[in-house]
Structure 1
Amino acid sequence: MGFEIDQASLFTTFCILFFSFTILFCFFSFLIFITRLRPWCNCDVCRSYLSLSWAKEFGNLCDWYTHLLKKSPTGTIHVHVLGNIITANPENVEYMLKTRFDNYPKGKPFSVILGDLLGRGIFNVDGESWKFQRKMASLELGSVSIRSYAFEIVTTEIQSRLIPLLSSFAGKENGVLDLQDVFRRFSFDNICKFSFGLDPGCLQLSLPISSFALAFDLASKLSAERAMAASPIVWKFKRLFNIGSERKLKEAIKMVDIFATEMINQRRKTGFADQKDLLSRFMASTNDDKYLRDIVISFLLAGRDTVASALTSFFYLLSQHPDVEAAIRDELERVIGRTQEVASFEQMRQMHYLNGAIYESMRLFPPIQFDSKFCQEDDILPDGTFVRKGTRVTYHPYAMGRMERVWGPDCLQFKPERWLQNGVFRPESPYKYPVFQAGLRICLGKEMALVEMRSVVLALVQRFDIRVASPNQAPQFAPGLTASVRGGLPVLVQDRWS
């Protein structure tokens, strides 16, 4: 009896000591973090950031950063309280993504934030692991067969679901449709088919709720919110004690993991040698199920939200510029005629104005508004900015698209013609236009994403008049890994063929 009491007492003492140690460790870690952040910095930028006074004039944080970067002689600013250097200078971007690529990896701070969701996936690793996955993905995504497979999936989803859904809302009184939600559902169906060979059916006429889609959305949202915490100690503390948002994140990721495991096990049972989806192709190269899960979830995240964001912004701008819409329709009729419903790869390449309009839309509203790296060793950027080891360095495509020194005095205007030379589409330097990143980490899915966007735009512009319900309201962006419009994009739809 006495032995049992001693054991209980010992356990209680251990728990108290462990809890006390944890609290003290968190406290001292927080003090170290605060010391590094220099919260006493009294410069105008840091004071405005900490007090949120910037929000009185700017609806979005990205617009405030753009304002600051425009005023900076070098196109670079330093937010001391965040330990973050932000730049909109193309020379700096090229230096980070190409010239000194090895000195600006994603870094451990980024990997830790997204580690629970993305694990060791390609978008969350550096070094040899990244090189291996990059090589594998390049071989797979670059093949003609997989691009044809992706095009087939997109075309089927457009014809069988996207067009019927919009037609069901067309002309209805009070028939307002959230186009952003539609594009998220459309992209999720496509990327699930492409990645897993699974059809979640999110874009069916009944607009069903997918438990996997909800879990995936929640996991993405909460993972992104980690980066916005005042200190990583905050979310790490909540994760340690499994409370608040971290508990919800853990539950969401558990659902994602269960789904991925079921898909991998099912594919092993049915065989994957003759399957075309991404999971089956990677299964031929590795037997590590956790690794497979991480790789495919990473592509799921990248392929779903970026395309949906880009399409949402495009139709927001198109609604405000009927002249651009008319020009796309003229080009469409000239290239494929009035009766053909689906354009081929070759026909899409001939649509130079369409390509210019899509690139121009992403110049103003890039799906990923900023991207960060962490400096490995002390360095000096081309504009003379000193970067201390361990500093976060962010390049800002959203701000870059609004810089007169980069795009000229008409940079705020939506002008697809700026991408045309004698009527032919001409891309700009990826360091001036890092929407798809650049250098060694340039987006492998770029061409497939562009084909998906072109296919959707052509199908909808040919068939419908789509107008934003509140055209004078500027987009307000919700926090996240990709740009999404807070409250969605309510639109009115008219069928041109009815």
Structure 2
Amino acid sequence: MAKARFFVQDSDFLGHGIFNVDSDESWKFQRQVASHEFNTKSLRKFIETVVDTELSDRLIPILSSAAKNGTVLDFQNILQRFAFDNICKIAFGFDPVYLSPSLPQAKFALAFEDSVRISYGRLTASIPLIWKIKKFFNIGSEKRLKMAVSEVKEYAMNIVKQKKQKLEQLGEKESLDDDLLSRFLSSGHVDEKFVTDIVISFLIAGRDTTSAALTWYFWLLSQHPEVQSKVVKEIKEHSEVPAYEEVKDLVYVHASLCECMRLYPPVPLDTKEALNDDVLPGGTVVKKGMRVSYFPYAMGRLESLWGSDWAEFKPERWLQKEENSKSWRFVQKDSYHYPVFQAGPRICLGKEMAFLQMKSVVAGVLRRFKVVPAFEREVVEPEYISYLTAKMKGGFPVKIVERGQDEN
């Protein structure tokens, strides 16, 4: 489509954040300010001062303790906590310490989950009038959503207020905090409600997408030991170089993550709304105001796009052997063929950051541990459920096992 915008049927939760904004100027402003967070210098800092610290000081000790005591962990929950701490630190200069040994049951986290789940229910409702009636009378799921959104917005607003106070205390002569929220507050847009909407959008982007991808990735590796062996081999071959350089060069790991997200995309469904009349390449007429949805989950399983072996977890489909070499070269797919990170003007700004974060977690965990599923009964495939982002229904129970020195 020549002109389109995101369509999320819930301004109550996402407000005027970048995922839901319908103004070109507001969207361009948010994207321009956010883009400074994703240059090479910021990405290196993200890995070396945020992700590595969270790995070494929090995640690895929790996994080590679980391995020693034979504890079963919900790895989906652990990864969400890890990602939440990460996005808060790099985007807002704030550490919620959500991944701590006690694994606190934060009221905010429960409210956030409810907000995401019920908002998605609105988006996919076959009869939208039903939720609108519930909202009018403030009953049922709409009452729960109102309470949950209030909790989330209060939490985000507190982050904004604390940052504003800090910036006011520093004064203009002091250096600006190197985080996303500081940039927005120093850009002239100091409306707390607007900036709070931005905070919530980035919390969703940073917390739910990478944790969803990694949850399914570790499960897939447990089902494909031959792939896991190749992943661990590559990790150990790069273990002596600095952290940023290490994860940047993990080609096979990168390919295996892409392959995982082909089968289990973190965002399984996306919808746009036409800003004017248009005609799609296939000849479909789209009128102004119409919604157009596409399904990365279904697209990743189409034989016409991926061949007769589409059902196989096969990282090699993303790789080519270098000429006269045993080394692999990653082959990028067209973003419209593989729209996991969207395509065109709205392609995901945080794509490289997400890959660096995921590869850091994979390297940090698999260098030392095996992640072994521990479902109460035999599971052929966990249930993939779709909200605004994907989840593994019921969580991902695992046991952590120390890996031997020479073990792949």
- The answer for the alignment partner of 2:354 in structure 1 is 449
Aligned residue-pair number:
388
Q: Distance in 2 between matches of 1:361 and 1:418?
A: 12
- The answer for the alignment partner of 1:374 in structure 2 is 273
Matching of residue 280 in structure 1 with residue 215 in structure 2: no
> 1:472: Cα distance to partner?
4.1
- The answer for the alignment partner of 1:351 in structure 2 is 250
For residues 51-70 of structure 1, give each alpha carbon's deviation from its aligned partner in whole angstroms, at most 9, with x where no partner exists: xxxxxxxxxxxxxxxxxxxx
- Higher Cα Rg: structure 1 or 2? 1
Decide whether the 8 Å contact of 2:37 with 2:179 is kept in 1: no
- The answer for the alignment partner of 1:168 in structure 2 is 65
Q: 1:181-200 maps to which residues of 2 (within 5 A)?
A: 181-200=77-96
Q: 1:20-99 maps to which residues of 2 (within 5 A)?
A: 96=1
- The answer for the alignment partner of 1:427 in structure 2 is 332
Q: 1:288-307 maps to which residues of 2 (within 5 A)?
A: 288-307=191-210
- Given candidates 369, 378, 400, the residue that maps to 1:493 is 400
Equivalent residue of 1:458, what SS?
helix
- The answer for the alignment partner of 2:302 in structure 1 is 403
For residues 141-170 of structure 1, give each alpha carbon's deviation from its aligned partner in whole angstroms, at most 9, with x where no partner exists: 233443233222111111111111111111
Decide whether the 8 Å contact of 1:161 with 1:203 is kept in 2: yes
- The answer for the alignment partner of 2:218 in structure 1 is 315
The code of the aligned residue for 1:320 comes to Q
For residues 159-212 of structure 1, give each alpha carbon's deviation from its aligned partner in whole angstroms, at most 9, with x where no partner exists: 111111111111545x32211111111111111222322222221111111122
Q: Distance in 2 between matches of 1:306 and 1:398?
A: 14
- Given candidates 94, 106, 123, the residue that maps to 2:6 is 106
What are structure 2's unaligned runs of at least 5 residues? 322-327
Decide whether the 8 Å contact of 2:63 with 2:400 is kept in 1: yes
Q: Distance in 1 between matches of 2:116 and 2:353?
A: 22
- The answer for the alignment partner of 1:202 in structure 2 is 98
- The answer for the alignment partner of 2:131 in structure 1 is 235
Which has the larger share of helix? 1
What are structure 1's unaligned runs of at least 5 residues? 1-95
Equivalent residue of 1:123, what SS?
coil
- The answer for the alignment partner of 1:21 in structure 2 is none
Q: 1:103-142 maps to which residues of 2 (within 5 A)?
A: 104-107=4-7, 110=8, 113-126=9-22, 127-138=24-35, 140-142=36-38
Equivalent residue of 2:10, what SS?
helix
Q: Distance in 2 between matches of 1:466 and 1:132?
A: 42
- The answer for the alignment partner of 2:363 in structure 1 is 458
Decide whether the 8 Å contact of 1:180 with 1:309 is kept in 2: yes
The code of the aligned residue for 1:265 comes to K
Q: TM-score, normalised by structure 1?
A: 0.74
> 1:129: Cα distance to partner?
1.6
The code of the aligned residue for 2:117 comes to K
- The answer for the alignment partner of 1:64 in structure 2 is none
> 1:249: Cα distance to partner?
1.4
Equivalent residue of 1:336, what SS?
coil
> 1:402: Cα distance to partner?
1.0
Q: TM-score, normalised by structure 2?
A: 0.90
- The answer for the alignment partner of 2:152 in structure 1 is 256
Decide whether the 8 Å contact of 1:165 with 1:205 is kept in 2: yes
Equivalent residue of 1:233, what SS?
helix
Matching of residue 153 in structure 1 with residue 50 in structure 2: yes
Q: Distance in 2 between matches of 1:280 and 1:213?
A: 24
> 1:475: Cα distance to partner?
2.4
Decide whether the 8 Å contact of 2:92 with 2:179 is kept in 1: yes
Q: Distance in 2 between matches of 1:117 and 1:265?
A: 19
Equivalent residue of 2:308, what SS?
coil
Decide whether the 8 Å contact of 1:375 with 1:391 is kept in 2: yes
> 1:372: Cα distance to partner?
1.0
- Given candidates 211, 215, 228, the residue that maps to 1:325 is 228
Q: Distance in 2 between matches of 1:196 and 1:346?
A: 25
Equivalent residue of 2:96, what SS?
coil
Equivalent residue of 1:183, what SS?
helix
CA RMSD of the aligned region, Å? Answer: 2.0
> 1:264: Cα distance to partner?
2.1
- The answer for the alignment partner of 1:478 in structure 2 is 385
> 1:356: Cα distance to partner?
0.8
- The answer for the alignment partner of 2:325 in structure 1 is none
Q: Distance in 1 between matches of 2:182 and 2:367?
A: 36
Decide whether the 8 Å contact of 1:179 with 1:490 is kept in 2: yes
Decide whether the 8 Å contact of 1:169 with 1:177 is kept in 2: yes
